[in-house]
A and B are shown apart, each in its own frame.
Chain A
Amino acid sequence: MKTFAQGIHLKYNKTATQGKAIRELPAPKKVIIPLHQHTGATCEPLVKVGDQVVQGQKIADSSKFISAPVHASISGKVTKIDKMPHPCGTEILAVVIEAGEEEEPKARTVDSRKTDALRPEEIRQAVREAGIVGLGGAAFPTHVKLAPPEGKKIYTILVNGCECEPYITADHRVMVEKADEIVQGALLAARAAGAEKVVVGIEDNKPDAIERLKSVARKHSEAIVDVVVLETKYPQGGEKMLIKAALDREVPARGLPLDIGVVVVNVGTAVAIFEALTRGQPLVSRVLTVTGPGIKEPKNLLVRIGTSFKEVIDQCGGLCEDASKIIMGGPMMGVAQTSVDIPVVKATSCILVLRQRDIKEEKIYPCVKCGRCVSNCPMYLVPSRLAAFADNGKYGEFEEWGGQDCIECGCCAYVCPAKIPIVQWVRLAKYKLRQMK
C-alpha cells in the first residue's frame, strides 16, 4: 500500500467520534470573529460598532493578494471591534456580533449562475469572496493556491482526506456524509486551476469514507477522479508527505506543491468551494471534532465561526472535573489554549481536552544519541542535532542542517526517549532566525 518513508504509527483514539454524524450547533447569541484567520495579511474591518449585519455579510477584507475576507456568521449588531484573544495565543483585532431578535436572512454573495458556465478566474474570485482557506489547519487562502503564477502549470488537485492526527474525525465524517460535494468541489477547484485530474488520498483506517468516495468517483472516468488508499501513518496529512505518498513526487526544498504541478486541498475545503459556488454560501461555519478523555460527550459538530470554545464544549456535556489541557487541533500539532473564552476560527479542526493523567510530565534526560528521531523524521532531518544547535544558539548551523525545512510534525519529540522538547527548540530557533532577518 502507498505511503511515504519514515514517520510513525500512533494510537489513533478515533473511535469515540468516528461513527457519530455531524450535528449542527444552533447559532450562538454572540460571536467573536477575528480578522486574521488565515496565513497572510490581516483584514481591515468594513463595519463599525453599532452596524447591523446579516449572516454571510463580508465584514472585513484586505487588498493584499495573500489574504481572505471574513464574514458575519450570525445576523445582529456589531457591539465591539477590538483586540481579543485568538487561539494562536496572541491578541488579534476581532469583530463582536451580538444577535438581535430578528430572523436570520440568508445572504447571497455569489450570483447563482450555472457553475458550468463559470470561467476559471470567476471561480477563483468566488472562492476568494467566500473567504475560503485551507480547513486542514494551516488556513492558507485557497484562491491563492488555485492561481498558478505565470509559466507554472497545475496538473493535479490532490484532495487531502488523510486526517492523520489522532482523535480528529471531522474530515472522516465529511467524507462519509458529503462525498459528492467533495468531488464536485474538487472538480471546480481543478477547473479554476486549469488542472486535469483530481486525486483523493485517504488512509486505510477510514474504510467507509474510502467506499463512499470510490462510489462517487465511479461516476467519473478514472483519468479524472481517482481515489488512492494510503497506509495509515503519521504525518501523512502533511502536504509534502501526502504528495510523496499518493503521487510519488517530492516538493522541492523551500518550494510549493505547485512547483511540481500539484495543489493540495483538504476535503472540508472542497466542500466549502462547492457550497460557495452552488449555494452562494461563504465560509461562516465549519465541521470540527470535540473530543478527548476530558470531554463528557465527544461529538462532531458544524459550528459557526466565532462561537466560543466554552459554548461548543457546553454542547458536548461540558468538561470533566479533571480536565487540564485544552488543545485546538490534534495532540501532535495542536495549540494548547489558556482559556475556553476563545473563538472557533476557520482553522479549528478539533477541540481536544486532555486530563491530568493523560499528560505525563516526564523527566528530561540528556540526548543519548539513539537516532530514533532521525529514523522517524518524515523530512529526513537530524532533529536531535537541530535541537542541540537551537539550545546552543548556533542558528547558522541550525539553518545549514535544514532547520527551516522542519514541518514541526512532532514525530521526533514523540519518539524521543530522553523526552527532549525537540519541536519547541526548533520553533525557538526559527523564531530567532526570523528576528535576525
Chain B
Amino acid sequence: MSFLITSSPHSNDFGSVPLMMRTVIIGLLPATIAGIVLFGWPALLVILSSVIAAVLTELAVNKIMKVEPTISDGSAALTGLLLALTLSPVMPWWQAALGAVFAIAVGKMLFGGLGYNIFNPALVGRAFLAAAFPVQMTTWAAPMFWRGVEAVSSATPLALMKFQQQTTVYSKLFFGNVSGCIGETSALLLLLPALFFMFKGLINWRIPASYLGSVAVLGGLFWLIDPTKYPDPLFHLLAGGLMLGALYMATDLVTSPLTPKGMWVFGAAAGVLVVVIRLFSGLPEGVMYSILIMNAFVPLINCYTRPRILGYPQKRFGRPVK
C-alpha cells in the first residue's frame, strides 16, 4: 500500500483565488443590476462589451504567450466589470471594449498576468479611455428607469458641486438616483454586499475603513474651515466613485499592500489625494488617480511597514519573568 507524501500543513481552508474573484463579482452585482435598471440597454451594452473584451483579450494573450488559459480564475471578467462600472452609460460600446483590451493587455498581462501587475488594471483601462475619449468619458445621462437614455450633458453631483456650487440631496446619492457612471451612483448597493463579505473575511476592511475615514476627516476639516465653499464630509463620501473605489478597487488584492499597517497607510493616503483632487484640481473627481498613484507606492509601503518579528527588540524585550 502506498501513501501520499506531502509537506505539512495537510489541510487548508476553503478560500481560493477564483473564489475571491467571484466574491467581488457577486458583491458588485447589485450595483450592476441597479445601473442597468437606471440607465437601460446602453448600460447593459457597455457592461457586456467590456467584460467580453476583457476575457477574450486575456485568452488571446495566453495563446500568444503559449501558456494555459488563465481566464477561469475570474480575474479578467472582474476587471471588465469594474471598468464598465466606472464608465458613462452612454459610452459607445466599442470604446468600452477598447478600454477593456487596454486594461488587460497593458494593465495586467504585460506585467506577467495575475499577481504581477502594479496598477489596478480596470483603472488603467479607465485612465486610457479618459485620455483617448475625453468627451465621451464626461458625457453623462440622467437616470431614466428603462425609458432609454439620451446623451445629454447632465452633470454629475460632483461636477455640479465643483462648477456650479449646487448640492444634491443625500437620499438621491445614497439610493443612486443621480447621473454618473453605471456602477457608482448608489452608495447603498455597493456598501451592503461589501459589508457582508467583510464580515465573512473575504474582502479586506482596513483599506475601505482608512480610505473613507481619511476622506471624511480631511473633507470635514475643509468644510469646518468654510462650509460655504467646501462640501460637507457626507457629500464627499456618497458622491462620485468613492464607494466603488474604496470598496472594490483600492481593495484589489494584487495592487494593495501586504501588511496590515501598510493597508492603513495606503487607504489614508489615497483618501487625502481624493480630497485634494476634488477640491483643488481641475477635475471634479479624484478616486481613479488617487488609487493609481497609491498603487505606485505599494512596494515602498510594503518595505517600510514590515512587521516587527516576534522577539525582536521592543519594550518588553528580554525582561525576565518574575
A interface residues with partner B (beta carbon < 8 Å)? 153, 155-156, 166, 240, 244, 247-255, 259-262, 323-327, 329, 331-340, 352, 354, 358-360, 362, 365-372, 374-375, 377-382, 384-385, 401-402, 405, 408, 410, 413-419, 421, 423-424, 427
25 cross-chain CB contacts under 8 A = A155-B322, A250-B314, A262-B321, A324-B4, A331-B10, A333-B9, A336-B3, A339-B1, A340-B1, A359-B4, A360-B12, A368-B254, A370-B204, A380-B310, A381-B307, A381-B309, A382-B307, A385-B258, A410-B8, A414-B13, A418-B16, A418-B17, A419-B12, A421-B6, A423-B9
Residue of A255, A338, A371, A378 contacting most chain B CB atoms (<10 Å): A371
A residues less than 8 Å from B259 (CB atoms): 371, 374-375, 382
Give Cα distance in the complex from A418 to B12, angstroms: 11
Inter-chain contact total with CB atoms closer than 8 Å:
179
B residues less than 8 Å from A417 (CB atoms): 15-17, 19-20
B residues less than 8 Å from A414 (CB atoms): 9, 11-13
Indicate whether B213 reaches chain A with its CB closer than 8 angstroms. Answer: no
Give Cα distance in the complex from A336 to B9, angstroms: 10
Asked if A365 and B73 make an inter-chain contact with CB atoms under 8 angstroms apart, the answer reads yes
Given contacts A153-B320, A251-B310, A336-B6, 19 further A-B contacts (CB under 8 A): A156-B321, A166-B11, A250-B317, A252-B318, A253-B311, A260-B318, A324-B4, A327-B8, A336-B10, A338-B3, A368-B254, A371-B257, A371-B259, A374-B258, A381-B309, A402-B309, A408-B8, A413-B9, A416-B12
Asked if A374 and B307 make an inter-chain contact with CB atoms under 8 angstroms apart, the answer reads yes
Asked if A240 and B311 make an inter-chain contact with CB atoms under 8 angstroms apart, the answer reads yes
Asked if A253 and B10 make an inter-chain contact with CB atoms under 8 angstroms apart, the answer reads no
B residues less than 8 Å from A360 (CB atoms): 12
Main secondary structure of the interface of B (DSSP, over half): loop
Candidates A153, A329, A354, A366; contact of B116 at CB < 8 Å: A366
Chain B 188-208 residues near chain A, CB threshold 8 A = 204
Asked if B114 and A368 make an inter-chain contact with CB atoms under 8 angstroms apart, the answer reads yes
Candidates B3, B115, B258, B321; contact of A339 at CB < 8 Å: B3
Q: A155-B321, A339-B3, A417-B19 are in contact. Are A333 and B8 (CB under 8 A)?
A: yes
Asked if B309 and A405 make an inter-chain contact with CB atoms under 8 angstroms apart, the answer reads yes
Q: A326-B3, A332-B11, A365-B17 are in contact. Are A240 and B310 (CB under 8 A)?
A: yes
Indicate whether B308 reaches chain A with its CB closer than 8 angstroms. Answer: yes
* CB-nearest residue of chain B to A416: B12
Indicate whether B7 reaches chain A with its CB closer than 8 angstroms. Answer: yes
Give Cα distance in the complex from A354 to B19, angstroms: 25
Candidates A155, A255, A331, A375; contact of B311 at CB < 8 Å: A255
Indicate whether B225 reaches chain A with its CB closer than 8 angstroms. Answer: no
